[in-house]
Each structure stands twice: as structure tokens, then as C-alpha cells.
């Protein structure tokens, strides 16, 4: 979703790079597109925080909470940032050390 906002198809073209193992280069279609793309930064996106982005993050947060077995606490609203960090710290301490 972020990629589509950063590089919308109506403003960019994808051109082959120097070799087949490299991803395509993203270039503006024209000067107007270049100016528009200069304004489409992650900083600007997250400062504006459109509803679609907030919704996507909420879905991701819930999926992560579900994966950790914390979904009930997440839905109950008891998982503050401090609580999440504390739980992750405990889980990290339980991991065996690498040899």
C-alpha cells in the first residue's frame, strides 16, 4: 500500500536497470510527475497518516498480537507500548544464546 502511494502507476515508469539481476528503475513519467513524486515521501505519508494507512497498521498490529498469543489483551486495550516492550523483553530473555 505504501509502495502504491509512493510510486503510483500514473506517475512512474519502470525501466530495466543495468542487468537482469537488478530490479527495474523507477523513473517519473514527466516533469510534473517528478514534482509530485518529490512530495511523496514516507515522512509526509506518516505525518498525514491517512485513514487507509492507520487501518493497515491496526490490522498488522492485531495480526502480530495474534501471532504472539496476545490477541485477547490487544482487543481489550491492555497492551500499551511499554507492556509490549516488556513482554518482548521477557521472550527475548527466554531464547537460547547462539553458539
Helix (H, G, I), strand (E, B) or coil at 26: strand
pLDDT score recorded for residue 99: 64
Which phi and psi (to 5°) does residue 12 adopt? -125, 165
Residues 24-81 have pLDDT tens digits of 999 999 999 999 999 999 999 999 999 999 999 999 999 999 999 999 999 999 999 9
Confidence of residue 9 (pLDDT cuts 50, 70, 90): very high
Q: Is the pLDDT of residue 5 over 70?
A: yes
What is the domain extent for residue 76?
56-94
pLDDT score recorded for residue 95: 86
Which residue, 18, 37, 42, is CA-closest to 27? 37
Q: Within this chain, do residues 66 and 40 fall inside the same structural domain, yes or no? A: no
Q: Within this chain, do residues 65 and 41 fall inside the same structural domain, yes or no? A: no
Q: Within this chain, do residues 14 and 35 fall inside the same structural domain, yes or no? A: yes
Amino acid at each position: 500500500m505504501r509502495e502504491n502511494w509512493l510510486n503510483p502507476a500514473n506517475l512512474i515508469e519502470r525501466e530495466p536497470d543495468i542487468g537482469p539481476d537488478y530490479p527495474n528503475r523507477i523513473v517519473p513519467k514527466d516533469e510534473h510527475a517528478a514534482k509530485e513524486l518529490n512530495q511523496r515521501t514516507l515522512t509526509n505519508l506518516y505525518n498525514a497518516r491517512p485513514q487507509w494507512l492507520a487501518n493497515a497498521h491496526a490490522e498488522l498490529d492485531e495480526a502480530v498480537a495474534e501471532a504472539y498469543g496476545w490477541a485477547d489483551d490487544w482487543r481489550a486495550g491492555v497492551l500499551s507500548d511499554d507492556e509490549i516492550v516488556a513482554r518482548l523483553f521477557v521472550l527475548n530473555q527466554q531464547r537460547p544464546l547462539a553458539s
